[in-house]
Structure 1
Amino acid sequence: TDAEIPNLIQELHQAAASNNLTLNHLIPRKALSEDANIQRLPFSVSVTGSYEQLANFARDVGHVSRIVTLSSINIAPEDDKNNKPDSTKPAKPANRFVLTAVASTYKAVDTDLPAASAASGAASAAAQ
C-alpha cells in the first residue's frame, strides 16, 4: 500500500548507508499501471562508491521487505572533475563509480473503492 512507501525509502537509504555509499538521489517517478490489478511505483536512484559497494547495494536491495527490482542500470566512473584535490575536502578514493538505476516496487490497485461506493449508493437508495 501507499502507507508502506516511506518504510521502503528508509530501507533503500539504509542499504546505501550500510555499504558506505554516497546516495546522490532517490526520486519518486510517476506510477505506472502494469495491468488492471498491479501498479508499478518506480524511483530514480543514484549512488556512488566502489564496484564492490555497488554490488553489495544491489544485493541488499533484493533483501528489503518489499519486492524491488532494479532496471535501466548504468555504472560509470565517477566524474573526474568532481574528484579534483580541494584542501577543504578529504580526497576521494580512486576507482569510484556511479550507479544509476530505476528501483521499482509494486502494489495492488485498490479495486474495492468503486465497489464500496456502488454498494453504499445502493444501500442508501434501498433505505429511501
Structure 2
Amino acid sequence: MSKKTKSAASFDFARWQQDARAQFSGLDPNDPSRWPALPRQLLLLVVALAVLVGLWYAVLSGMRTQLETERQRESQLRTEFTSKVAQAVNLDALRAQLEQVRQYVTQLERQLPSRAEMDALLSDINQAGIGRGLQFELFRPGQVELRDHYAELPIAVRVSGSYHDIGMFVSDVAHLSRIVTLNNLSLAPAANRPDMLTLDTTAKTFRYLDPEEVLQRQREQQQQQQAARGQR
C-alpha cells in the first residue's frame, strides 16, 4: 500500500512539474497579462514581497539607526551641556534641547521590550502566524547577542501556507507594537503541496538591557580596552 502511495505522489509531482514548465514556456515579457495563472501569480508575489521587504528595511532599519544615533547625540549633548554650564552660556536653550533628545530616546526605547516581556513578544509573533492560518514547521529562538545599548534575539522561523496568508503574516509582524525585523527571506513551494508555499526567515527582536547586562557589557568593554592596550 505504501509503495502505491509513493508512486502516486511521484506521478502527481511529475505531472505538476510538467504543467508548470508548460505554463512558463513561451512567455511574452512585454505582456504579462496574457501569461498563464501560475507565472502571473508568482510575478505578483515577487513584486509584493519586494515592496514589503523594501518598506520593512527602510522603516525598521531606520528606527534602529535612529535609536543609536540619538543615544550618541545624547552623550555628546551631555558633554556640551557640562561645558556650557561652567560658562553659563545658553544654559536654558541647552537644557531644552537636552530634554527634547531625552524624550525622543525614551519614546524609541518604549518600542523595545524588557527581558521579562520577551516571552509575550514571541507569543505575539506566533499568534500572528496562527491567526493567518499558517502552519509553523520551525520556531526556534537563538542565542541572545548583547550590543552597546540593547540585546538582539534571532529566531529561526519556517511557516507554510498560501502566498496571500504568508504576505498578511509578514505585514502583521511589521505592524507589531515592538520592533521585529524579518531577514534572509526565502520562499519556495511546500513539499508535496504544490498549492502551498513555505517561508524560511530569521526574525530578529530587540530589547533593552537590564542593569545586570549593562554592567556585564561595561566589564566586557573594559576587558577589551585593557587587552588592546596590552598589545601596544
* Superposition TM-score, scaled by structure 1 size: 0.72
Equivalent position to 1:14, from 127, 148, 154: 127
Question: 1 CA distance for matches of 2:129 and 2:136?
Answer: 6
* Alignment of 1:108 onto 2:108: no
Question: 1 CA distance for matches of 2:118 and 2:140?
Answer: 12
* Alignment of 1:31 onto 2:144: yes
* Superposition TM-score, scaled by structure 2 size: 0.41
Deviates more, 1:49-58 or 1:8-17: 8-17
Question: 2 CA distance for matches of 1:51 and 1:63?
Answer: 19
Backbone CA RMSD of aligned residues: 1.7
Residue 46 of structure 1: SS of its match in structure 2?
strand
The aligned counterpart of 2:156 is: 44
The one-character-per-residue Cα deviations of 1:66-95 (angstroms, maximum 9, x if unpaired) are 110000110110012xx4xxxxxxxxxx42
Residue 176 of structure 2: SS of its match in structure 1?
coil
Q: Which amino acid aligns with 1:78?
A: A
* Alignment of 1:79 onto 2:179: no
Residue 20 of structure 1: SS of its match in structure 2?
coil
* Alignment of 1:54 onto 2:170: no
Question: 2 CA distance for matches of 1:2 and 1:27?
Answer: 17
Paired residues, number: 101
* Alignment of 1:95 onto 2:195: yes
Question: 1 CA distance for matches of 2:150 and 2:122?
Answer: 20
The one-character-per-residue Cα deviations of 1:1-58 (angstroms, maximum 9, x if unpaired) are 111111112111211111111111210001123x311221111111100111100000
Segments of 5+ residues of structure 2 without an aligned counterpart are 1-113, 217-232
- The structure with the largest strand share of the pair is 1
Runs in 1 of length 4+ with deviation above 6 angstroms? none
Question: 1 CA distance for matches of 2:116 and 2:142?
Answer: 17
Contact kept? 1:8, 1:65, Cα under 8 Å: no
